[in-house]
Amino acid sequence: MPTDSDQAAIVGNLASWLLNFVDKFNSLGGESWQLIPHKACMDNKVSAPLLIGVCADVTQQGAHAFHQAGDKYLRALSVTSPNVAPIIIPAFFHELSAAAQEALLGTLDGLMLTGSYSNLHPSYYQQSLKEGDDASRDPHRDASNWALLELAMAKKLPILAICRGFQELNVYFGGSLHHRIHEVEGLMDHREDKSRPIEEQYAPAHPVKLLTGGYLAKWFSPNTSIEVNSIHMQGVDRLGKGLHIEAQSEDGLVEAFSLDDYPFLLAVQWHPEWKPQQYPQNAQIIQGFINTCSAVKAQGKIG
């Protein structure tokens, strides 16, 4: 079955052929034989889907490794907009040839960095594993996303980063992380209660203050705070260079940031991908990202 992009190309070619035919017919037949092309043929604006890349994790299932992305991230995009096609990017982007990397990102209109059960290895921010560290690690994702970010930013792709993706971006720009927020004096425990049902774990847990001048303040105006879920053990210690704080929790922890002088980059520590059809504050963030991807595509890709 033809895809939407195939159908768009077929309609575009048919419209172009028909308009050329009309021009030639009119030039041969004189005024009495004028043909007026139908408006549908002249208005060749079939909407092609947005292709949004979603980074993958590597997980071990039995004897085999799998590259996968969480269902909730993929569905958040497609449920929020039926014109979005999520594309999972395998966690060996750094192993692809330069030509393959260019070809892959050249098709995309945006990039989502997801949350994960794994944590970024602390060597990326010049620290070592703490005694008793039991966090899961994903070295494939670590290396893959570093190469992915480098090219995505060179191409000025719109980027939305969530939870682990939020932490990755902070470190990518030279920042560092608290290993265990609940052990830092003055900071509250931001972990979920894993004994509770999943719906309660992802329910709003605390407010975040929205700082002026950011995407979130604009999207949620006139509100100056919103309620968010809280499902993380790590968090921002030192903020990366060039990053603008968008939101903070009551204990002062950075919960969201954007990047100055970039078309669109927004990172949030919470999980807006969780049931956007049920939580309007989550839907607003996913929709805002999709709208930006669409606007950038309409303007023409950069890079």
Active site residues: 163, 271, 273
Nearest to 270 by CA among 177, 120, 166, 188: 166
Q: Which two tokens stand for residue 124?
A: 């990326």
Nearest to 256 by CA among 285, 299, 298: 285
What is the spatial distance between Cα 170 and Cα 254, in angstroms, rounded to a whole number? 10
Indicate the DSSP class of residue 3: -
Indicate the DSSP class of residue 246: E
Nearest to 92 by CA among 126, 66, 121, 122: 66
Task: Give kind and range of the element (H or E) at residue 255.
Answer: strand 254-259
What is the spatial distance between Cα 303 and Cα 299, in angstroms, rounded to a whole number? 13
Residue carrying the six token digits 């839907």: 283
> What is the rounded radius of gyration, in angstroms, for the C-alpha atoms of the chain?
23
How many residues can be counted in the chain? 303
